[in-house]
């Protein structure tokens, strides 16, 4: 009985400590983003490569997936709205649900599956191969050189890709509204303008930035926890990915709460 409570207490303390460490770590990285000294030529080179790998390489596939998935979703939603006789609310559904909620979520899920797992593994492998130790021995700031470019890349990529995804969804929305409801482009844009809210769009963009920050920071954090054994790599990668998905859910809930408040 005693051991159960001890185990429970130990686990809670470990979780709280890990959460506090992550927040402290996030704070350190966040401060470095705004430091001019951080942006050395080497760091900028890494940042360029990271954006290339995360956003540019994935762009055709991402746009294709966005259009196919978004069109299917919009088609289903419009069809349901028509069946229930509430097509008057489709502007709010399109802006409030699809553009400001589903588009960032879809983007962050795709980027997490492709890039966050890659970053997590890369960091773990560097730790196992003692590359990070070597960088430190050469007095290279690991945070500036490795962490900050990846985090900035995450923020930029998620914000831009999510915006592109929203544009793609709105274009397919115009197509489906014409096909299903027989709505002209003028009426469609007018309804969208009426339904659109600056604050909602700003919240969505801010949420994308937060997503980008954490879906790169958490894999880095867990990657750096790897020991010097190769077997620790899959453990930290799986732990990191689970935590990333938990973070996505928490951010989503917080954004909804922000909207409600």
Partner 1 sequence: MTLSREFKVGLFIGCTAIIVVLALLYLAAGKGVFENPHAFTVSSKSGDGFTEGMPVVFSGFNIGKVQALELNEKGIVVIKIKIPDRHVKWIRSDSTFILYRPLIGSARIVVNTTNLNSPPLDEKKIPEVIISNDINDTIAKIEPVLERVGRIAENFERLTLSLSDPKGDLNRVLGNAEKITSNLATKKSLVEMAVSDEESVKALNESLKKLKDITTNVDRILTKVDNMADKTDSEIYGKEGALPQVNVILKDIIGKLQILDKTIDNINKISTDASEGTKDLHILRSDIDDTLKTVEDAVRKLDAIIGLKKAPEFKVP
Residue ranges in contact with partner 1 by CB under 8 A:
48-49, 51-52, 55-56, 59, 88-89, 156, 160-161, 163-164, 167, 189-190, 193-194, 196, 198, 201
Pick between residue 3 and residue 88 the one whose CB is nearest to partner 1: 88
Q: Between residues 17 and 49, which has the closer beta carbon with respect to partner 1?
A: 49
The DSSP code sequence of 76-130 is HHHHHHHHHT-GGGHHHIIIIIIIIIIHHHHHHHHHIIIIIHHHHHHHHHHHHTT
CA distances from 224 to 78, 136, 238 (A): 46, 13, 13
Cα separation, 68 vs 172, whole angstroms: 9
Closer to partner 1 by CB, 202 or 230: give it. Answer: 202
**What minimum distance in Å lies between the beta carbon of 258 and partner 1?**
17
- Minimum distance of partner 1 from residue 170's CB (angstroms): 8
Rounded Cα–Cα distance for residues 257 and 89 (Å): 22
147/161 with CB nearer partner 1:
161
Least CB distance to partner 1 at residue 97 (A): 16
Find, among 260, 155, 248, the residue nearest to 199 by Cα: 260
The DSSP call for residue 261 is -
Q: Mention every residue, 6+ apart, whose C-beta is less than 8 A from residue 50.
A: 149, 150, 153
CB 119 within 8 A of CB 223: yes
Which CB atom, from 45 or from 136, has the smaller least distance to partner 1? 45
What minimum distance in Å lies between the beta carbon of 241 and partner 1? 26
In angstroms, give the least distance from the CB of 129 to partner 1. Answer: 25
């Amino acid at each position: 009985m005693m051991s159960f409570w001890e185990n429970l207490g130990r686990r809670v303390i470990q979780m709280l400590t890990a959460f506090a460490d992550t927040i402290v770590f996030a704070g350190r990285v966040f401060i470095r983003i705004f430091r001019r000294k951080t942006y050395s030529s080497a760091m900028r080179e890494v940042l360029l490569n990271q954006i290339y790998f995360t956003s540019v390489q994935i762009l055709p596939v991402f746009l294709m997936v966005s259009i196919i998935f978004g069109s299917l979703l919009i088609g289903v939603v419009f069809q349901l709205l028509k069946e229930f006789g509430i097509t008057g609310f489709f502007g709010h559904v399109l802006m409030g649900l699809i553009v400001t909620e589903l588009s960032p979520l879809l983007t962050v899920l795709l980027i997490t599956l492709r890039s966050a797992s890659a970053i997590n593994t890369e960091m773990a492998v560097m730790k196992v191969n003692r590359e990070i130790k070597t960088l430190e021995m050469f007095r290279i700031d690991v945070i500036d050189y490795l962490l900050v470019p990846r985090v900035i890349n995450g923020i930029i990529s998620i914000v831009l890709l999510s915006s592109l995804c929203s544009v793609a969804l709105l274009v397919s929305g115009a197509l489906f509204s014409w096909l299903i409801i027989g709505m002209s482009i003028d009426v469609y844009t007018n309804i969208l303008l009426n339904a659109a809210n600056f604050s909602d769009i700003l919240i969505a963009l801010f949420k994308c930035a937060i997503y980008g920050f954490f879906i790169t920071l958490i894999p880095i954090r867990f990657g750096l926890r790897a020991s010097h054994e190769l077997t620790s790599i899959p453990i930290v990668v799986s732990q990191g990915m689970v935590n990333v998905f938990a973070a996505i859910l928490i951010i989503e809930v917080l954004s909804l709460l922000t909207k409600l408040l």
